[in-house]
Structure 1
Amino acid sequence: MDANRVCAKMIEIGQESVFEAMYLRFYSPLCLFASKYVLDDGDAEDLVGSVFTKLWKDKAPFENFDHLRNFLYRSTYNACLNHLRRSQRNLLLKKRFAEDLSEVGEDYWSGVIRAELITKIFEAIDQLPQHYAQVLRLAFAEELKNEEIADRLDLSIQTVKNYKSRGLEIIRKRISPMAFLLLITMMS
């Protein structure tokens, strides 16, 4: 039995450590994915939490890891759809979601890919030396300019530029070209 099937089988029988690993692996990307549809981060987190609760309670059989991943993304998408249907208080939100539904195939998968790429980027940043990682987190996650980073970390602007450049060079070697392009685009 291959590793993917073993992992899926362990979730099916209720193996807590495997469930926890799946939770840690997918929680953040799923929240990012859900926040595309429900604009409130708290609602997105609640919906993703309910998806994991359903996974734990139902212990549905999965043929492999990809089946499990697809289940999590599709369940999150469906939970978002159900949430928006129940929420009649914001017509703008309903209109936006209706537009997204018309392009669901393309937008759904681009959202999945974007969430996965962002997760890979943050994993790569976390593996950098601390001073590079700190500068890149501020530039990427908080969208601070070099001057703001320099002020916050009590560094010269040139040092911030050097750390950013060296950190990006290391990351470029570790992640896919598509993920690196996304990182550069988001930092611009």
Structure 2
Amino acid sequence: MMDELNKQISDLRIGKETALSYLMDQYACALHFFAYKFIKDKQTSSEIVSDAFIKLWERREHFEAIEPIKSFLYLVVKNACLDHLKHSRNKYRYEEANLIELEATDQDILRKIIYTELVELIVYEVKKLPRQQAQVLHLSFMEDKNIQEICDELGTTANTVYFARSKAVATLKKVLAQKKLSLHYLFLLLFFNLPQ
């Protein structure tokens, strides 16, 4: 994996677009989630993430390792989200809901990045679940839909949604435990919005 990543970074530096595509495949989902946590708008989040990769491409020769690339992408996305919030037409939403985000410390931003990378790991594992369980978790967590909205979208009952979600959560807990990750609390934090 690291050899492949190092090859892609070398290819990126010399201008191979396939390397940019590789990095987009690896990190776009997590960056989109990170942006969405700030601005709660899927379309704008996607545009911000795309712009971040364009900026990476423009500065590609400056990067020799993955950590500076990830730091750059997260910083660009964060700044673009904050700029978007500052210029948002919905002044109330900006002032009330996101003022705290604008004053976030580096530690808060680091926590959001770690949270996002944890989500990335969970999303990877969710993709391995049976289709209905994966759909329910995706709609519930990634799209913040309530039970009734999930029922409407999937054309199923609330009991089916509850059952699929509980089976999925149990499976993910087991998988994370097998990976020897002490993430049970973080898992609950992510899926059930416990206080941080």
TM-score grouping bracket, smaller chain normalisation: 0.7 to 0.9
For 2:36 and 2:70, the matched residues in 1 are separated by 18
Amino acid at match of 2:80: A
1:5 CA displacement: 3.8
Q: Secondary structure at the match of 1:36?
A: helix
Residue 184 of structure 1: aligned partner: 191
Tell me which of the two structures has the higher relative contact order, counting C-alpha pairs closer than 8 angstroms and 6 or more residues apart: 1
Amino acid at match of 2:147: K
Amino acid at match of 1:167: A
Query: In terms of mean alpha carbon deviation, does 133-142 or 14-23 score higher?
Result: 133-142
Aligned pairs for 1:124-143 within 5 A: 124-140=125-141, 141=143, 143=145
Residue 59 of structure 2: aligned partner: 58
For 1:149 and 1:40, the matched residues in 2 are separated by 22
1:20 CA displacement: 0.6
For 1:37 and 1:144, the matched residues in 2 are separated by 20
Identity between Structure 1 and Structure 2 (%): 27
For 1:46 and 1:121, the matched residues in 2 are separated by 24
Q: Does structure 1 residue 117 correspond to structure 2 residue 124?
A: no
Root-mean-square deviation (CA, aligned residues, Å) is 3.3
For 2:89 and 2:47, the matched residues in 1 are separated by 18
Q: Secondary structure at the match of 1:103?
A: coil
Which has more radius of gyration? 1
Residue 23 of structure 2: aligned partner: 22
**So what's the TM-score if we normalise by structure 1?**
0.75
Residue 13 of structure 2: aligned partner: 12
Q: For residues 66 and 144 of structure 1, do their structure 2 counterparts lie closer, same or farther at Cα, with a shift above 3 Å needed?
A: same
Structure 1: where are the runs of 5+ without partners? Answer: none
1:80 CA displacement: 2.9
How many pairs align?
A: 184
Structure 2: where are the runs of 5+ without partners? Answer: none
For 1:18 and 1:147, the matched residues in 2 are separated by 38
1:37 CA displacement: 3.5
1:29 CA displacement: 1.8
Check conservation: 2:151, 2:158, Cα contact below 8 A. no
Q: For residues 63 and 132 of structure 1, do their structure 2 counterparts lie closer, same or farther at Cα, with a shift above 3 Å needed?
A: same
For 1:60 and 1:68, the matched residues in 2 are separated by 11
1:88 CA displacement: 7.0
1:24 CA displacement: 1.7
Check conservation: 1:125, 1:171, Cα contact below 8 A. yes
